[in-house]
Each structure stands twice: as C-alpha cells, then as structure tokens.
A = this chain, B = another copy of it.
C-alpha cells in the first residue's frame, strides 16, 4: 500500500500514523520528494482499512498495491480451479453449456427442454424457480415446486441442475440442487454469500450490474473465506449509457479474470443483451475469447409464451448454435495450442 502525504503535513500526526502502522506489523519506506512525501507500506496490508487511512488529515491519497482478495487470487493459487459437478466439470479446458428456460413453468416444459438441450450438447440444465423481478406485479416463479420439476428433469436426462437462490431462508430447498446461482442483484448480499460459503455445493456468482472486477472477486472471496472454494464467475453484462441492448456484455472480463483469479468464468449472452438474435454471435465471441462456458436461455413453449418466448432461443436455434459452439471451441483449442 502506498500513502501519499499532504505537503504541509504535521510531523506529530505522521509519527502517530507510523507508530500505529508499525504496531500492526507493517514496515514503512519513506520517499521525500519536492512535491510529495510517499510512504511505501510493506507487510500484510490486506487487513488495513484503506478508507480510514485515506481520511486522515495528513493524507492526500492512498493506493492499494496488493489485491484485497486472497483465496480467489491466482498469485496464491496458480493452478486453474476445476469444479466437478456430477458427471461433468466446469473449467479445465472443456466447454460447459448451461441451457434451459428463464422460468420453470411446468414439469412437462422443463423435462422437454432438458431432453432437447441435452441432445444438442448442453452439459447442465438451468432454470429459474425463484425469480427476481423488478415489479411486484410480475410472476415471481414457482418456488419450491419449480425446484422439484428441475429435479424431475435431471432424473430424466442426467443433466446437473443450476438454479438461483434469492434468500438464505430458501437454502434448505437447495440441498439437492447441483449448482447454486447467486443473481446479479444479490452479488453484494453479504449474508447470502456467507450462507452459501458455509455449505459445500458449487456456487455461481453473477456479476452485479455495476460491479468492478475487484468487487466481483471480493464476493467470491466472501464465499471462499467461509470455506467453500467451488466458485464459478458468470458475466452477464454491465450497465452503461448504451440502452439499445439491455446491458453491455464485457468479454474482456474473460482474459482479465484468467489473469487475476484461478476460478472458471462463464458468460450469459441472453441476459446481457435482452435480444434473442444477439445470443448467437455473442456466444461465438465468448468462446473465441476463452470462456469456460455459456449460460443460454432456451424456451420450447411458443403457445404459452404467446408466440416465441421472451429473449430465448427456440430448441432448433439452440441446436444449431450448440453445434457451432462446440466446433468453434475445438478450433480455438487447437489454435491456442
């Protein structure tokens, strides 16, 4: 950590700061320039409160040098994390395709979709039982019943299931779920993160709408610090000024996270764009950029969903896409050696 002092800093306050830091086991290197005096703090600074130091009368600015996350940090864990989920795994070079409906609507619907997406090459079934909705007047999901339907679909197809947990009070219902999803709106619901950290199932954390890479990794750190190392990161678009798409998909996160962390990264082009015709090209882009997997909405019930369903691909479109993605993944792996 680097502390930049104000020009006219009080000598006594500086000494008090230095003593306080030394008591915490930090050693200090001082650079005195014409315009600024700079303190280089050496030692374990991860427990220092950066805001506290920044607020001191004598301090102009504080800059962190060390990342504030440890368990999630590739520096301390150079090997890629590979997460075993039943008969499949996330990370480690294979392409995970999680597909399924936005909302679970009925057992027939979800079983039918599960069979279709499995035949196309999906490796996991996703579907919402508890649904975070902006409006209290919108359908809030089938809840516990939805989870039962997902299990029935797993029974039929063998596909592991991933579904969203919205509140820690629902946790007992997730005992037999394969991957617990934490939604973008809950990325900084710290009590929820601790709760899923205290149980062993893999956790997929969606990036918050306006979360930086560091904040996202700190949310992973909450889960890992509570004892659960099985964390998957899922990019689903960030909020920007551009409103043509629902969000702006940030594919640069893939190589950046590859550098910063050992955790696998999957991409959700459906929610990122909110338009079904953008799912195909952006899924292709995600695979070529190096994603470990994709989360894709598929809907099979055009009658119920009025005509063609919200922002989802139909099973036939998904089938064509999944086949392309698998071939692309193969080519990319060959090219990357």
Please tell me if A158 contacts chain B, counting CB pairs below 8 Å.
Answer: no
7 tightest A-B contacts by CB?
Answer: A31-B40, A288-B288, A285-B289, A29-B31, A33-B42, A210-B210, A167-B191
Minimal Cβ-Cβ distance residue in B for A324 = B335
Q: Is the CB of A278 within 8 A of B255?
A: yes
Q: Is the CB of A52 within 8 A of B136?
A: no
- Size band of the A side of the interface? 35 or more
Q: Is the CB of A226 within 8 A of B188?
A: no
Minimal Cβ-Cβ distance residue in B for A33 = B42
Please tell me if A328 contacts chain B, counting CB pairs below 8 Å.
Answer: yes
Query: Distance (Å) between the CB of A108 and the closest chain B CB?
Result: 20
Complex: A168 Cα to B171 Cα, angstroms: 14
Minimal Cβ-Cβ distance residue in B for A226 = B136
Partner of A40, one of B33, B248, B254: B33
In the complex, chain B residues whose CB is within 8 Å of the CB of A241: 210, 212, 238-241, 243
Please tell me if A250 contacts chain B, counting CB pairs below 8 Å.
Answer: yes
A residues at B contact (CB < 8 Å): 2, 4, 7, 13, 16-17, 20, 29-36, 38, 40, 42-43, 46-47, 49, 51-58, 61, 63, 65-66, 68, 75, 132-140, 166-169, 185-186, 188-192, 194, 208-210, 212-215, 218, 221-222, 225-226, 238-245, 248-252, 254-256, 259, 272-274, 276-278, 280-282, 284-290, 305-312, 324, 327-328, 331-332, 335-336
In the complex, chain B residues whose CB is within 8 Å of the CB of A336: 324
In the complex, chain B residues whose CB is within 8 Å of the CB of A282: 251-252, 255, 289
In the complex, chain B residues whose CB is within 8 Å of the CB of A132: 188, 190
Q: A57-B307, A238-B240 are in contact. Are A137 and B38 (CB under 8 A)?
A: no
Complex: A238 Cα to B265 Cα, angstroms: 22
Per DSSP, chain A at the interface is mixed
Q: Is the CB of B218 within 8 A of A191?
A: no
Partner of A242, one of B38, B138, B212, B245: B212
Complex: A32 Cα to B42 Cα, angstroms: 8
Complex: A250 Cα to B138 Cα, angstroms: 29
This chain: copies in complex: 4
Complex: A150 Cα to B51 Cα, angstroms: 24
In the complex, chain B residues whose CB is within 8 Å of the CB of A68: 134-135, 137
Q: A54-B310, A185-B189, A254-B281 are in contact. Are A66 and B36 (CB under 8 A)?
A: yes
Q: A168-B169, A241-B241, A327-B331 are in contact. Are A309 and B55 (CB under 8 A)?
A: yes
Query: Distance (Å) between the CB of A19 and the closest chain B CB?
Result: 11
Q: Is the CB of A213 within 8 A of B242?
A: yes
In the complex, chain B residues whose CB is within 8 Å of the CB of A55: 276, 305, 307-312
Complex: A117 Cα to B121 Cα, angstroms: 39
Complex: A252 Cα to B324 Cα, angstroms: 18
Minimal Cβ-Cβ distance residue in B for A212 = B242
Query: Distance (Å) between the CB of A67 and the closest chain B CB?
Result: 9
Complex: A277 Cα to B59 Cα, angstroms: 13
Complex: A273 Cα to B259 Cα, angstroms: 14
In the complex, chain B residues whose CB is within 8 Å of the CB of A238: 240-242, 248
In the complex, chain B residues whose CB is within 8 Å of the CB of A215: 134
Complex: A64 Cα to B200 Cα, angstroms: 44
Q: Is the CB of B58 within 8 A of A307?
A: yes
